[in-house]
Amino acid sequence: MSSILVSLDGGVLSITLNRPDKLNAFNPEMHQLLKAALERARDEAAVRAVLLTGAGRGFCAGQDLSERNVAPGAAPIDLSVTIGSYYNPLVRRMRELPKPIVCAVNGVAAGAGANLALACDLVFAARSASFVQAFSRIGLLPDSGGTYFLPRLAGSARAMGLALLGDKLSAEDAGRWGLIWKVVEDANLMDECTAAARSLAAGPTKAYGLIKKALYASASNTLDAQLDLERDLQREAGYSEDYREGVAAFMQKRKPAFKGK
Ligand code: LHQ
């Protein structure tokens, strides 16, 4: 059984992390297959949104620690190699993808798995799901963008508490704290996420890519720089076929038929 399942339907590329007996923890094969799936999402015009979830009772437990056990007396492993080769390129690939990524957090999201969810654009979590910055429990600091996302989403006091204590944060608290978009009942998670991804896949894809670019740039921009960026990106959006269609449909009081161009 492949460690990543991929299928395309209605413009939505569904990607399922599939190592359920390990709560979908990452090994090199899973990284390589996820990379290929995200490259497909970037390159194929037929893909207009991505839906990411996990198989079984967990979303993702981060790095597979059974591959990281250092025998007594053995030389320490340089973790920066794994981070530099896999996790950092993964987070960059997701944020730079000019198409929206919907995340369905179906269960526990721990370590890099929690931060992988936070790197997505529209995050839904099942009521029974949870988020754990498990790193400090094993003597590490949050990676995969955790030290960037957490203070920006939840504020620095909550980011520090989560990182230092490594406690489980319920989906409900993650919703209240602004870490994610929405909490939904477990039984409705996949239906709601599929509907959101389908709706995005039928939308103005180019504009969505520009929205991602502008909002993600704003975290480190001055107001002046952001105003200039909005001007430049709006020029690009204004040249799209979907903008023409959007305005024409509004004037004709009909629903727009966006093509993603
Ligand atoms: C696992 C894992 C796992 C292997 C559950 N690995 N088997 C980047 C670069 C380089 C190196 C280091 O790391 C990183 C980034 C990181 O992600 S570091 C953080 C790594 N992740 C963690 O520390 C989380 C470890 N897991 C847990 O704390 C718990 O499993 C959580 C809180 C996720 C869930 O707890 P439970 O619901 O009680 O489940 P469980 O602990 O019983 O796990 C179920 C099974 O999954 C179990 O196997 P078993 O054979 O006993 O049924 C676990 O061993 C296995 N599993 N996480 N990361």
Calculate how far, in angstroms, residue 34's C-alpha sits from the geometric centre of ligand 1. Answer: 19
CA-nearest residue, atom 35 of ligand 1: 108
CA-nearest residue, atom 48 of ligand 1: 22
Q: Evaluate: CB of 169 within 6 angstroms of ligand 1.
A: no
CB-based contact 200:181 (threshold 8 Å): no
122-126 and 101-105: which strand pairing? Answer: parallel
- pLDDT means per 10 residues, the chain with 261 residues, are 97 98 98 98 98 98 89 89 98 98 98 98 98 98 98 98 98 98 98 98 98 97 98 98 98 98 94
> Is 250 buried (19+), middle (13-18) or exposed (0-12) by CB count in 10 A?
exposed
Q: Quote the CA–CA distance of 74 and 125 in Å, as a whole number.
A: 40
Q: Evaluate: CB of 145 within 6 angstroms of ligand 1.
A: no
Q: Quote the CA–CA distance of 234 and 252 in Å, as a whole number.
A: 23
Say what the pLDDT of residue 213 is. 98
Calculate how far, in angstroms, residue 22's C-alpha sits from the geometric centre of ligand 1. Answer: 7
- Confidence (pTM): 0.97
Q: Evaluate: CB of 31 within 6 angstroms of ligand 1.
A: no
CB-based contact 204:246 (threshold 8 Å): yes
CB-based contact 191:126 (threshold 8 Å): no
Q: In this structure, is the dihedral angle defined by the CA atoms of residues 11, 13, 197 and 210, taken in order, positive or negative?
A: negative
Rounded to 5 degrees, what are φ and ψ at 73? 85, -15
Q: Quote the CA–CA distance of 202 and 152 in Å, as a whole number.
A: 30
DSSP category for residue 96: H
Say what the pLDDT of residue 70 is. 78
Rounded to 5 degrees, what are φ and ψ at 223? -60, -40
**Helix axis angle, 28-43 to 88-96, nearest 10°:** 20
Q: Evaluate: CB of 141 within 6 angstroms of ligand 1.
A: no
Say what the pLDDT of residue 137 is. 98
Q: Evaluate: CB of 135 within 6 angstroms of ligand 1.
A: yes
Range list of H helices, 177-240: 189-201, 205-218, 223-238
